[in-house]
């Protein structure tokens, strides 16, 4: 039996054992693989926007988000094809890389480990160089790829590496790992650590799917001679008590949870603002994408809010059961199946396949296709946060649907 089949079966057994909800193998995709690094493109799917085509808006964004020299790297120039996405992603990127409560060493360890987990060549190239500025040696940078099982890590670094691995593979954090982190990090630093992994997962999925290439002048590349292996404890049952209590007041629990860290909450909110208020996607398409990634990550709170009070998916014409059944369910239309397949591939493989990208771009224009990728990538990070913090359902929330066993 292949390792992938074993991992898939273990995932299904765990979820069935930890909940009374019946599930199907078809409805719940296998989790991300822990024995093979996601593939990466060697050519761009979306060409970086040439400077000759920059408008005043583009130039202002480059001035705001470049390194102060007015030069945009391939990551930023690719996103410039949709300037509003730059406004969605970059404020939080800047906060996490320059202003979070973590020290520089902690930031780059988390970012490099996430880039390794997701197979993001441009992020590894960029942050390996920054890691040296933060005091990491070349040997330590390689050791990030080797992961928490490599000898030589101190206790704090080890906790961060394990956090990244669990968030990526399980979309959650075990009680033991969380308890260990709380002995070393205060609440704001712990939230910053979780959100660093989650946001750089977003960037990795987006850059992988757009085919963003590392800049030619960067010398570092993902070390191909290191075995890709991630070992984490089994995912635990859903939390029934919040790890971070929402602040008192009005508004939904997730907003009041992030309000515990205002400096983080404000730039993070820009990422979701694009999806919910700016994106050219239709509300029905948006809610399908969000519900599917919430289902895949088994983020019950995210599912509940987008079925009901926040996303009002049914009011948008979405059948939640059909979303849970997935792209290969009988009766799934070609267009809907493509959207659901985008989500499943981002979740399992950290990028959209060539075939699905072709189907997506045959139906959507460039900015719309970028938005289709951006939406579940961002809400994957939200799912990971909700699961890690234990945000609890509120009165009247609708939980996952029951699907018949196969």
Long-range CB pairs of 328-337, under 8 A, 24+ apart, other chains included: 328/26, 329/26, 329/27, 334/359, 335/363, 336/288
If one counts the domains in the chain, the total is 1
Question: Is position 187 within any domain?
Answer: yes
Show the tokens assigned to 290: 């969000």
Instruction: Identify the domain containing residue 136 by its residue range.
Output: 51-210
Q: Is 369 exposed, middle or buried (0-12, 13-18, 19+ CB in 10 A)?
A: buried
Question: Is position 79 within any domain?
Answer: yes
Question: Is position 354 within any domain?
Answer: no
Residue (of 193, 189, 159, 191) closest to 177 by Cα position? 159
Show the tokens assigned to 28: 């719940």
Tell me how far the alpha carbon of residue 34 is from its chain's centroid.
Answer: 16
Reduced 3-state DSSP string for the chain: CCHHHHHHHHHHHHHHHCCCCCCCCCCCCCCCCCCCCCCCCCCCCCCCCCHHHCCHHHHHHHHHHCCCCCCCCHHHHHHCCCHHHHHHHHHHHHHHHHHCCCCHHHHHHHHHHHHHHHCCHHHHHHHHHHHHHCCCCHHHHHHHHHCCCCCCCCHHHHHHHHHHHHHHHHCCCCHHHHHHHHCCCCHHHHHHHHHHHHHHHHHHHHHHHHCCCCCCCCCCCCCCCCCCCCCCCCCCCCCCCCCCCCCCCCCCHHHHHHCCCHHHHHHHHHHHHHHHHHCCCCHHHHHHHHHHHHHHCCCHHHHHHHHCCCCCCHHHCCCHHHHHHCCCCCCCCHHHHHHHHHHHHHHHHCCCCHHHHHHHHHHCCHHHHHHHHHHHHHHHHHHHHHHHHCCCCCCCCCCCCCCCCC
Q: Give the pLDDT of residue 27.
A: 65
Neighbours of 355 (CB within 10 A): 11
Show the tokens assigned to 262: 């205002």
Q: Give the pLDDT of residue 404.
A: 65
Sign of CA dihedral 197, 198, 199, 204: positive
Q: What's this model's pTM, rounded to 2 decimal places?
A: 0.93
Q: Is 166 exposed, middle or buried (0-12, 13-18, 19+ CB in 10 A)?
A: buried
| CATH number of the domain that residue 203 is part of | 1.20.1290.10
Q: Give the pLDDT of residue 106.
A: 98
Distance linking the first and last C-alpha atoms of the chain? 20
With contact defined as beta carbons under 8 Å apart, do 342 and 27 qualify?
A: no
- In angstroms, the CA 197 to CA 107 distance is 9
Show the tokens assigned to 134: 């933060």
Question: Is position 147 within any domain?
Answer: yes
Q: Give the pLDDT of residue 331.
A: 79
Question: Is position 215 within any domain?
Answer: no
- In angstroms, the CA 27 to CA 14 distance is 15
Question: Is position 104 within any domain?
Answer: yes
Tell me how far the alpha carbon of residue 202 is from its chain's centroid.
Answer: 4
Question: Is position 33 within any domain?
Answer: no
Neighbours of 104 (CB within 10 A): 16
Question: Is position 330 within any domain?
Answer: no
Per-10-residue mean pLDDT of the chain, 406 residues long, equals 39 41 57 90 97 97 82 96 98 98 98 98 97 97 97 96 98 98 98 98 98 96 96 95 97 97 98 97 98 97 94 94 92 92 97 98 98 98 98 94 68
């Amino acid at each position: 039996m292949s390792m992938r089949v074993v991992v898939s079966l273990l995932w299904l057994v765990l979820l069935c054992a930890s909940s009374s909800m019946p599930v199907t193998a078809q409805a719940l995709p296998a989790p991300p693989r822990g024995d093979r690094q996601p593939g990466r493109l060697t050519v761009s799917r979306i060409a970086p926007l040439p400077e000759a085509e920059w408008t005043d808006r583009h130039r202002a964004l480059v001035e705001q988000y470049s390194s102060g020299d007015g030069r945009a790297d391939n990551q930023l120039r690719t996103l410039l094809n949709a300037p509003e996405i730059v406004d969605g992603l970059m404020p939080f990127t800047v906060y996490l890389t320059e202003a979070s409560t973590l020290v520089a060493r902690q930031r780059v360890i988390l970012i490099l480990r996430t880039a390794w987990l997701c197979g993001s060549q441009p992020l590894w190239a960029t942050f390996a160089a920054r890691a040296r500025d933060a005091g990491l040696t070349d040997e330590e940078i390689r050791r990030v790829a080797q992961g928490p099982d490599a000898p030589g890590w101190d206790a704090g670094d080890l906790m961060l590496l394990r956090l990244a691995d669990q968030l990526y593979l399980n979309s959650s954090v075990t009680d033991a790992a969380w308890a260990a982190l709380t002995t070393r990090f205060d609440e704001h630093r712990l939230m910053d650590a979780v959100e660093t992994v989650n946001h750089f997962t977003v960037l990795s999925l987006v850059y992988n799917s757009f085919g963003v290439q590392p800049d030619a002048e960067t010398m570092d590349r993902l070390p191909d001679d290191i075995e890709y292996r991630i070992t984490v404890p089994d995912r635990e049952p859903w939390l029934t008590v919040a790890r971070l209590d929402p602040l008192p007041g009005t508004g939904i629990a997730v907003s009041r949870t992030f309000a515990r860290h205002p400096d983080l909450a404000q730039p993070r909110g820009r990422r979701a603002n694009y999806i919910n208020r700016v994106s050219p996607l239709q509300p029905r398409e948006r809610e399908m994408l969000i519900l599917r990634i919430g289902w895949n990550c088994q983020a019950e709170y995210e599912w509940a809010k987008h079925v009901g009070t926040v996303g009002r998916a049914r009011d948008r014409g979405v059948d939640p059961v059909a979303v849970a059944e997935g792209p290969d369910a009988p009766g799934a239309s070609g267009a809907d199946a493509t959207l659901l397949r985008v989500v499943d591939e981002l979740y399992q493989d950290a990028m959209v396949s060539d075939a699905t990208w072709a189907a997506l771009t045959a139906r959507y224009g460039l900015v719309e296709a970028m938005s289709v990728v951006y939406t579940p990538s961002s809400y994957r990070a939200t799912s990971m946060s909700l699961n890690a913090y234990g945000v609890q359902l509120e009165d009247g929330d609708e939980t996952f649907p029951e699907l018949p066993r196969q």
